[in-house]
């Protein structure tokens, strides 16, 4: 019998004895066993912390490229994971969500490198002036935490659950110890073997515990981050451990919740939205056999449409074939384990005490190509609750399987009230063609939901649906949902960084942040910055340009070229009551003339100028004013070659500070350029 192993301390090892036997969810065949007994988790955490230096030294650009390489590597091997995923009871679409959805998280987080500096740490926000004359300023930087991320994951997504978390902590520069559910850890183990074999990640960046992991949190400390995905009861138990409080350990809890979907009053039968609602409800009940933390548990519909919605959902459920996903036409597989079947059945029995089953029978259902006694099957169950404000069990008890309750509302305000009875949810949705109805629901319900999907015919074709959290958006929710946040794009990465305020002279803060700060030293560039390659440019070095005196002719000529004949530029008689003393130069003329002053026109390392950021016109420029430019290297960002034939280059941001004869700034902008590297010179 196969022993599924743990990867810790740089090696694959067996735990002592058998903690958990593992079974095929469809056939009931024993697959093997797992154990983590005997593992010294204090050593495991210490090993991750010690080896985390390799990740911390990497820049965000390097970490992003590492994630991209890993995503491509795993995508090439995806068919292997699909074969093993079928043993968890998953259909092809279930496995696609888990496998390719998980790998998609790697790609998405890799792309975030464009939002971070070319440094191992992040520079947060902008400088704060702390003194009258500008010689003392403050800023914030965020550095990788020097601990490990301990991820305790649920059974329902053995791959997505791991990848959506480690993508974020690896991008931040923090190593991980992953503890998947022991029941489906055999699938996680298959992928981790490939990850370790690829040698794409530094050693120690990822460790895997496939067994029960008893004692894994006993040695966490203030440097570490713990995340938990699973039941609210277990999550709260772990979050309340004395060690977590004593060491002030960051704990992120994402718990299963009683998510609700609402049919808007405008989505009447015959509209595309009505049909979308029914389709979405059935999808949420049957995909992953309802084993999703984001699945719809409460279906809230206008009271006059209760019968029609019930009939439509029941009809679609009746046509859904359940059984072995390898058989043609099967659209719903098994639950992950027989233990899960028992838990779902027990909660269905509790719910049945206060509401009626209107579709499905836990004791009588048909399967295609499978044996109900051997596999871990449970049929779709639809309850009807006529009085959701009085019969509240459906707002407290979650059957974590293909189970949902349909209930009525009188007006949208009541639908919002009912949705909030879930005491905090990961996600809610409203299906409506009426935008005002959508606005009212979103604003009214948002305080108790981590995500809200608004679905209508205009977005239906590309919508990812109620149950699909996206890597660039927050996944989490208040109250029962745990109060935590996962993913969330840049927000998620920052969760693994320590924010620290820094104070000092602008020159010193420039050196730390590698971003030019106003008031810092501005050594004159020699030669001109456009004559230097990427590696040769130094943050803060500045070109002080020749000057130009603005004339009426400049304004007229620019108006002729641009077509901008705004009255303030062209009609001196129309200025009464405005802030202008006389006709004023176009702001864009000032920037255009600035370019004429700072550009070195000869061919050199600068390949192109591809954008302007943060352009501001801070003081009117009248004919007779004399302007000059301080052109300063503001920030440098490395860029990878897209192919062997690509030119080696980086992105350089230049601060354009246009000033007048008084020395006062009249315009500010940041331009972005591509600059060739020496290695391609």
pLDDT, tens only, 423-479: 999 999 999 999 999 999 999 999 999 999 999 999 999 999 998 888 898 899 998
Instruction: With H, G, I as helix, E, B as strand and everything else as coil, classify residue 163.
Output: helix
Q: Which residue has the tokens 């430019």?
A: 629
Predicted confidence at residue 286, as pLDDT, reads: 95
Those residues with Cβ within 8 angstroms of residue 564's Cβ, 6 or more apart along the chain or in another chain: 558, 586, 588
Give the integer Cα–Cα distance in Å for 514 and 141: 11
* 259-468 belongs to CATH 3.40.309.10: yes
3-state helix, strand, coil in the chain (%, to 5): 35, 25, 40
> Is it true that domain 33-256 has CATH number 3.30.230.10?
no
pLDDT confidence of residue 571: 87
Query: Residue 324 in contact with residue 368, Cβ under 8 Å?
Result: yes
254 is catalytic: yes
- Looking at the chain, the domain(s) classified CATH 3.40.309.10 span 259-468
Provide the edge-to-edge strand list for the sheet that holds 122-129: 122-129, 137-144, 497-504
pLDDT of residue 16: 87
Closest CA to 333 of 161, 82, 77: 82
Q: In terms of pTM, does the model score above 0.85? A: yes
Is residue 615 a contact partner of residue 588, using CB atoms and an 8 Å limit? no
| Predicted pLDDT of residue 484 | 87
What is the pLDDT at residue 194?
Answer: 97
State the average pLDDT over residues 100-105. 94
Q: Which of 182, 254, 486, 541 is catalytic?
A: 254
b/e per residue 237-270 (b: at least 16 CB within 10 A):
ebbebeebeeeebbbbbbbbbbbbbbbbbbbeee
CA distance 363 to 15: 38
The CATH 3.10.129.10 portion of the chain extends over 522-680
272 is catalytic: no
For domain 522-680, give the CATH number: 3.10.129.10
- Compute the half-sphere exposure of residue 150: CA atoms within 13 Å on the CB side of its CA: 28
Interatomic CA distance for residues 114 and 89, integer angstroms: 39
Half-sphere exposure at residue 604, Cβ-oriented, CA atoms within 13 angstroms: 15
Mean pLDDT, to the nearest integer, of 342-349? 96
Judged by phi (left if over 0) then psi (alpha if -120 to 50, else beta), residue 637 lies in beta
Residue 235's pLDDT is 87
Q: What percentage of the chain carries pLDDT values higher than 90?
A: 86
Q: How does pLDDT run across 263-275, given as a tens digit for each residue?
A: 999 999 999 999 9
Over pLDDT 70: what percentage of the chain?
A: 100
> Please, what's the largest Cα pairwise distance for the chain?
93
pLDDT at 38: 92
Tell me if residue 42 falls in helix, strand or coil: helix
The answer to whether the beta carbons of residues 94 and 130 sit under 8 Å apart is no
Query: Which candidate, 232, 267, 667, 652, places its Cα nearest to that of 484?
Result: 232
Task: Give CA–CA dist 89/334, Å, rounded.
Answer: 5
pLDDT at 610 over 90: no
Confidence of residue 104 (pLDDT cuts 50, 70, 90): very high
Dihedral pair phi/psi, residue 555, rounded to 5°: -65, -45
Tens-digit pLDDT profile for residues 361-409: 999 999 999 999 999 999 999 999 999 999 999 999 999 999 999 999 9
Q: Which of residues 178 and 578 earns the better pLDDT score? A: 178
pLDDT in tens, 618-670: 999 999 999 999 999 999 998 888 888 889 999 999 999 999 999 999 999 99
- 545/523 Cα distance (integer angstroms): 14
**Identified catalytic residue from 210, 281, 293, 394:** 293
d(CA 301, CA 415) in angstroms, rounded, equals: 8
Domain ranges in the chain with CATH number 3.40.605.10: 33-256
The predicted-structure confidence for 497-526, as pLDDT tens digits, reads as follows 999 999 999 999 999 999 999 999 999 999
Q: What is the mean pLDDT of residues 190-212?
A: 96
Asked whether the predicted pLDDT for residue 1 surpasses 80, the reply is no
- The 10 Å Cβ neighbour count of residue 457 is 14
Residue 480 CB neighbour total at 10 angstroms? 22
Mean pLDDT rounded to a whole number for the chain: 94
Quickly state the pLDDT bin for 155 (edges 50, 70, 90): confident
What is the Cα–Cα distance from 431 to 273, expressed in whole angstroms?
Answer: 6
Quote the pLDDT of residue 680: 64
Write the pLDDT tens digit of every residue in 212-245.
Answer: 999 999 999 999 999 999 888 888 899 999 999 9
pLDDT tens string 447-461: 999 999 999 999 999
């Amino acid at each position: 019998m196969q022993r599924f192993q743990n990867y810790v301390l740089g090696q694959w090892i067996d735990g002592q004895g058998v903690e958990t036997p593992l079974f095929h969810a469809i056939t009931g065949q024993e697959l093997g066993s797992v154990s983590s007994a005997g593992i010294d988790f204090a050593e495991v955490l210490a090993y991750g912390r010690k080896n985390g230096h390799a990740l911390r030294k990497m820049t965000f650009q390097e970490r992003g490229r590492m994630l991209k390489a890993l995503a491509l590597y795993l995508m090439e091997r995806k068919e292997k994971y699909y074969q093993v995923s079928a043993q968890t009871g998953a259909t092809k679409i279930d496995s696609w969500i888990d496998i390719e959805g998980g790998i998609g998280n790697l790609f998405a987080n890799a792309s975030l490198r464009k939002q971070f500096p070319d440094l191992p740490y992040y520079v947060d926000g902008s400088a704060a002036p702390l003194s009258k004359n500008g010689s003392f300023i403050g800023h914030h930087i965020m550095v990788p935490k020097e601990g490990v991320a301990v991820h305790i994951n649920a059974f329902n997504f053995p791959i997505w659950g791991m990848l959506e978390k480690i993508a974020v902590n690896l991008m931040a520069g923090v190593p991980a110890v992953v503890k998947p559910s022991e029941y489906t850890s055999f699938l996680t183990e298959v992928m981790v073997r490939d990850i370790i074999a690829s040698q794409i990640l530094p050693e120690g960046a990822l460790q895997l515990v496939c067994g029960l992991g008893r004692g894994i949190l006993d040695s966490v400390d203030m440097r570490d981050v713990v995340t938990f995905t699973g039941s609210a009861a277990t999550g709260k138990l772990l979050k309340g451990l004395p060690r977590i409080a004593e060491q002030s350990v960051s704990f992120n809890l994402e718990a299963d919740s009683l998510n609700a979907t609402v049919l808007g009053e405008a989505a009447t039968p015959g509209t595309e939205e009505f049909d979308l609602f029914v389709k979405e409800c059935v999808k949420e009940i049957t995909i992953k056999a309802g084993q999703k933390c984001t699945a719809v548990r409460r279906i809230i519909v206008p009271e006059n449409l209760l019968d029609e919605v019930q009939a439509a959902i029941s009809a679609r459920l009746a046509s859904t074939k359940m059984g072995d996903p390898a058989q043609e036409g099967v659209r719903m597989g098994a639950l992950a384990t027989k233990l899960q079947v028992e838990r779902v059945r027990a909660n269905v029995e509790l719910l049945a005490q206060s509401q009626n089953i209107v579709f499905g029978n836990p004791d009588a259902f048909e399967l295609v190509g499978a044996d109900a006694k051997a596999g871990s099957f449970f049929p779709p169950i639809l309850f009807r609750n006529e009085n959701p404000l009085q019969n509240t069990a459906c707002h407290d008890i979650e059957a974590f399987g293909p189970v949902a309750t349909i209930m009525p509302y009188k007006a949208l305000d009541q639908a919002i009230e009912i949705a909030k009875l879930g005491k905090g949810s990961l996600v809610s949705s409203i299906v409506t063609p009426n935008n005002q109805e959508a606005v009212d629901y979103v604003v009214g319900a948002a305080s108790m939901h981590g995500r809200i999907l608004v679905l209508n015919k205009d977005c239906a074709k590309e919508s990812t649906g109620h149950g699909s959290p996206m890597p660039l958006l927050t996944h989490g929710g208040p109250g029962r949902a745990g109060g935590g946040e996962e993913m969330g794009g840049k927000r998620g990465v920052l969760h693994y960084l320590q924010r620290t305020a820094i104070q000092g002279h602008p020159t010193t803060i420039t050196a730390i942040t590698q971003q030019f700060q106003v008031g810092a030293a501005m050594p004159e560039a020699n030669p001109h910055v456009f004559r230097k390659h990427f590696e040769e440019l130094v943050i803060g070095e500045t070109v002080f340009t020749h000057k130009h005196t603005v004339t009426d002719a400049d304004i007229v000529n620019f108006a002729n070229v641009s077509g901008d004949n705004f009255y303030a530029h062209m009609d001196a008689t129309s200025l009464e009551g405005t802030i202008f003393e006389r006709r004023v130069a176009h702001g864009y003329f000032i920037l255009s003339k600035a370019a004429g002053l700072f550009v070195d026109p000869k061919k050199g390392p600068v390949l192109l100028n591809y954008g302007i950021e943060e352009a501001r016109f801070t003081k009117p420029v009248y004919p007779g004013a004399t302007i000059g430019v301080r052109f300063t290297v503001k920030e440098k960002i490395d860029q990878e070659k897209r192919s062997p034939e690509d030119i080696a280059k980086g992105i350089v941001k230049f601060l354009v500070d246009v000033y007048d004869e008084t020395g006062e700034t009249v315009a500010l902008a940041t331009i972005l350029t591509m600059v060739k590297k020496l290695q391609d010179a």
